[in-house]
């Protein structure tokens, strides 16, 4: 028993050494995080065998044209506000470095295995076309999304309302994100994802955090959250993947949101991510993917939760604000200014957008269009309730 414990401890220490690169500077955040400022050339991306001799592209060759310039919010008294990351209150990373949230021993020990740390479980993507009778209970994941398919997509954008949904128990999470998908919903699925999440298993707390994810084999052996494996190349010294977003929205009070744009650089084929109005965060090199070495075939926007169904009851883990779409602004979560990037590198309104939810009595979605918000939807719900036993 002692040797097993000793062996595990050695594995943990090796993994921490691999993940936590030597820091130029470290910043303690008030949420308990330690943010390490790592030399940009020493980041985890370059542990990937395909990126050993990679030259960092510091800026994209092209930005999508026609970035939405609509007014933010709905009127002066109820307008939504943008926000930042909590650790910024205590310092910044110098130029030439990138901020990385430090991984601790406890983070690894919460995972089902060291190998599984930082990874999603298989088949956690919403599959609206499926007539699969097991869809509702597939791995206990439930979704409320809007989506487009049937065209070639070179990126997607949305402004996402930020909340701090309640999580019922370990093993569950709640997130709101964009999915960029290529390939079939089989073993070859390619996915690039970005948004916010509350995941006690991954982060050890209930804070709302910015996250990214990628996979090139349907969540099999490739990809991970944030910078917890090699792949994503970060170029920005202000945004920490996995860092807390601050502040978050309150029911019938101030509303906050984040804007995320992911697009494919037409010159080099890398998939870039922008956070907010002007913070280009970095890119997923095109060579990480098979299908997404070209355009995406499907885009999804929306929420996802894990429903463990403990004691045979639906989880009370919330999606979005924890309130149904019909409650509207200030009460229900939203995605607004929803756009896709077309083959001419232009942002445009998505055609043929549809919605999907596994169980609308637990989590729902309602789509709309307007002059100020463009294409938008309200989404979410409380999980277990009188209508969702």
Q: Tell me how far apart the alpha carbons of residues 88 and 33 are, in angstroms, rounded to a whole number.
A: 12
| Catalytic annotation present for 304 | yes
Q: Tell me which of 164, 172, 300, 304 is the catalytic residue.
A: 304
Which DSSP category does 127 fall into? -
Which long-range contacts link 54-61 to residues 24+ away (Cβ below 8 Å)? 54/233, 54/285, 56/233, 56/235, 57/233, 57/235, 57/268, 57/270, 57/283, 58/235, 59/235, 59/280, 60/263, 60/265, 60/270, 60/272, 60/280, 60/283, 61/265, 61/266, 61/267, 61/268
Catalytic-labelled residue, pool 164, 172, 193, 300: 193
Cα–Cα distance measured from residue 273 to residue 271, given in angstroms and rounded to the nearest whole number? 7
Q: Name the helix (H) or strand (E) containing 80.
A: strand 80-82
Q: Based on the residue annotation, tell me whether 193 is a catalytic residue of this protein.
A: yes
Helix (H) or strand (E) holding 213: strand 209-215
Rounded Cα–Cα distance for residues 302 and 44 (Å) = 29
Per-residue DSSP letters for 342-363?
-TTSBEEPPTT-EEEES-TTTS
**Active site positions, annotated:** 193, 304
């Amino acid at each position: 028993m002692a040797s097993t414990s000793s062996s595990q401890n050695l594995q943990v220490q090796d993994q921490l050494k691999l993940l936590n690169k030597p820091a130029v500077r470290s910043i303690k955040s008030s949420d308990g995080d330690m943010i390490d400022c790592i030399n940009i050339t020493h980041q985890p991306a370059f542990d990937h065998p395909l990126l050993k001799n990679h030259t960092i592209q510091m800026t994209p060759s092209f930005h999508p044209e026609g970035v939405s310039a609509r007014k933010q919010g709905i009127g002066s008294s109820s307008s939504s506000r943008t926000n930042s990351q909590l650790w910024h209150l205590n310092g910044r990373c110098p130029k030439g470095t990138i901020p990385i949230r430090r991984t601790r021993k406890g983070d690894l020990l919460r995972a089902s295995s060291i190998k599984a740390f930082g990874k999603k479980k298989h088949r956690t993507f919403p599959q609206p076309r499926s007539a699969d009778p097991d869809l509702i209970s597939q791995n206990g994941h439930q979704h409320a999304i809007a989506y487009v398919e049937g065209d070639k997509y070179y990126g997607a954008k949305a402004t996402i309302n930020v909340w701090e949904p309640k999580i019922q128990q370990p093993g569950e999470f709640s997130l709101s994100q964009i999915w960029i998908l290529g390939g079939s919903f089989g073993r070859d699925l390619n996915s690039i994802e970005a948004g916010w999440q509350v995941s006690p298993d991954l982060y050890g707390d209930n804070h709302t955090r910015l996250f990214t994810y990628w996979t090139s084999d349907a969540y099999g052996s490739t990809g991970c959250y944030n910078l917890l494996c090699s792949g994503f190349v970060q170029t920005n010294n202000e945004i920490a993947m996995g860092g807390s977003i601050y502040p978050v929205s309150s029911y019938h009070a101030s509303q906050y949101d984040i804007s995320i744009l992911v697009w494919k650089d037409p010159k080099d084929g890398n998939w870039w991510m922008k956070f907010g109005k002007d913070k280009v965060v970095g890119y997923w090199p095109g060579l990480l993917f098979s299908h997404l070495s070209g355009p995406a075939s499907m885009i999804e926007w929306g929420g996802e939760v894990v429903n463990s169904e403990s004691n045979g009851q639906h989880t009370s883990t919330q999606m979005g604000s924890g309130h149904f779409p019909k409650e509207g602004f200030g009460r229900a979560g939203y995605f607004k200014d929803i756009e896709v990037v077309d083959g001419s590198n232009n942002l445009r309104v998505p055609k043929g957008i549809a919605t999907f939810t596994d169980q609308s009595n637990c989590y729902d979605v309602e789509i709309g269009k307007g002059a100020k918000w463009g294409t938008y939807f309200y989404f979410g719900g409380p999980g277990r309730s009188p209508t969702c036993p």
